[in-house]
Amino acid sequence: MQQITAEQLRQQLHENQDLLLVDVREEEEHEAFNIGGLLLPLGELMSSAGSIPKDKPVVVYCKRGIRSAIAIQRLQERFGYTNLLNLQGGMEEWKKTQGHP
C-alpha cells in the first residue's frame, strides 16, 4: 500500500497539485476537524466508490491511518484502484506536525 506523510501531503497541497482527499471517518469527526475533500465514511465507501476517480492521486485519511488503510485495501481488491495513498498517522499526525493546511 502506498503511503504519504503529513509533510508530503502538506507540500503537495501547497503546490496545488491535482489530487483528491477522501475522509473515511464519520460525519461528526469530519465536522470537528478535516483537511477537506470528500466525506465517504468507511461503512458507506463501497457503495460510493464510483465518486472516487482512478486517473489522479487520491489521498485517503482517517483519525490514525487504520480505517483509511482498510478502505484502500477494499477499494483495491474490489475495484482495482492503483492511485490510492494512505495518509500515515491520519489526522492525529497531521495535527502533530503543524496543525491546519
The tens place of each residue's pLDDT in the chain, 101 residues long, gives 999 999 999 999 999 999 999 999 999 999 999 999 999 999 999 999 999 999 999 999 999 999 999 999 999 999 999 999 999 999 999 999 875 54
Active-site residue (options: 21, 22, 35, 62): 62
The question of whether 62 is a catalytic residue gets the answer: yes
Q: Which domains does the chain have, with CATH numbers?
A: 3-97 (3.40.250.10)
Between CA 58 and CA 44 the distance in angstroms is 17
- Global pTM value: 0.94
Checking 46-54 for CB contacts under 8 A at 24+ apart, the result is 46/74, 46/75, 46/78, 49/75, 49/78, 49/79, 52/20, 52/22, 52/81, 53/20, 53/83, 54/80, 54/81, 54/82, 54/83
